[in-house]
Amino acid sequence: MKKLSVKNGIFFALLLLVGTFVSCLSDGDETIVLESKDILGIPSDSKATPNPTINEETTYIPNVQYTIDQEEGAVIMRIDMTGIQDPQTLKWIKLFGTEKEGQNVWVSVDGKPKGIEVYNNSDDDANKTITADLVFLVDNSGSMSEEADAIARDIVAWARTLASSGLDIRFGCVGYGGNVGSQYSYLVENYGITGALNITTFEQLNNFLNNRSQSGTARTKGFVGDDKTTLQSIAGYSYYSDAGGECGVQALRFANENFSFRNGANRIYVNFTDDANYPGGFDEISIKYLLSDWKTSMGTIHTVFSNDSSSINSRLSIGEKPWLMSRYTGGTELYASSSFTGVSLNDLPVTGAMQNAYIIRFTNIDEFMDGKPHNMKITVLSKDRNVQAEKTFSIVFGEKNT
């Protein structure tokens, strides 16, 4: 039997008396033992140290995607996460896992330290590919007319750069907030979802924004793609079709609940707006929804706000600060002028976040594969303590075959 390594001597003695843990695996009852050797380059849990204590958060850990992989007979938890920025230098940090010199990231599950292997996108390993599904949420209300053409132009240029950067990336788009008038009879006089393109290639995104004889805010109106009829019909439902004004959370939920995201891909949203999020009294499309019902795997929201941010303060009674969508999910923020001049989306922080993404892997997860939620905590702490961040995710590891 492999050795079970714990730090508490008394508890270790009790474990020796008890003998074994038992679990119902696919080939019968077997003893669960903590791995005492490295598997597929992943350090064993016996080498892991507890998550360190941080004094105060100086940056954010973004939401993550997680998948369970089978590799050479071992069950591996894979965590995909976009980059983390040093708040002082604005550089994207490289993560080092268990037993690596300069270790600066730790993972525990239900308080149990895990041995982790970290792959940084900057490591340039051809055998590992960072995948991302990027959805643009675009406010196409009348106040965005000044920015609309510039935003569409820059989205296409930026998407082209990302598509050629080595990332495995796909794109989608949702237009929202423009009063649709009589274009769609069931949406007359309501704010809501006015256009959509499901997850697809860069070429189709370019066609949606530039090649439909549309200009200004109309660029993101209308439904395009093989499923356009379905998306257009769904846009008339419930909280997709009614709000107190432009509502980024409404567009966010539309994409999350109806788009064809790829399994394991980082879900990334970029919300372009010049005004508050107006839920119209509906909690389902309020930013509060992100605090109560937005799950870890649903993705990270980044904000591009093209107005004076103080302009929202006078309307707090009916509107919400849209950049809170980013702060609640570990996203980034960019502030631009109302004409959207002097801004390059290549400089958008999410560009660096994607190009400096990570894959974190650990194993020995049989005891957590019970179909119930478990608390996975990720702590990032740089040696100089400039970078301090911690986030606990509720993770369901799935169930073992019985």
Domains of the chain from N-terminus onward: 36-127+365-396 (no CATH), 131-355 (3.40.50.410)
Task: Report the predicted TM-score, pTM, of the whole model to 2 decimal places.
Answer: 0.77
Q: Read off the pLDDT of residues 42-75 as tens digits, 9 standing for 90 and up.
A: 999 999 999 999 999 999 898 898 999 888 888 9
Through-space distance between the first and last CA atoms of the chain, rounded to whole angstroms: 23
Give the whole-angstrom CA distance, residue 365 versus residue 33. 10
Give the whole-angstrom CA distance, residue 310 versus residue 299. 27
Q: Tell me phi and psi for residue 178, to 5 degrees.
A: -75, 125
**Between 107 and 216, residue with greater pLDDT:** 107
**Percent with pLDDT over 90 in the chain:** 52
Q: How sure is the predictor about 237, in pLDDT bands with cuts at 50, 70 and 90?
A: confident
Neighbour-count burial of 176, counting CB atoms closer than 10 A to its CB (0-12 exposed, 13-18 middle, 19+ buried):
buried
Q: Where are the alpha helices (DSSP H) in 73-164?
A: 145-163
Whole-number Cα distances in Å, 6 to 19, 136, 179: 14, 47, 61
The amino acid that residue 142 corresponds to is: G
- Pairing state between β 131-139 and 168-176: parallel
Q: Which of 164-168, 197-201, 315-319 has the lowest mean pLDDT?
A: 315-319
Q: Which of 350, 346, 400, 329 minimizes the C-alpha distance to 371?
A: 400
Coil vs helix vs strand at 387: coil
What's the chain's average pLDDT? 84
**Percent with pLDDT over 70 in the chain:** 85
Neighbour-count burial of 322, counting CB atoms closer than 10 A to its CB (0-12 exposed, 13-18 middle, 19+ buried):
buried
Phi-psi region of 234 (alpha: psi -120 to 50; beta: other; left: phi over 0): alpha
Q: How sure is the predictor about 190, in pLDDT bands with cuts at 50, 70 and 90?
A: low
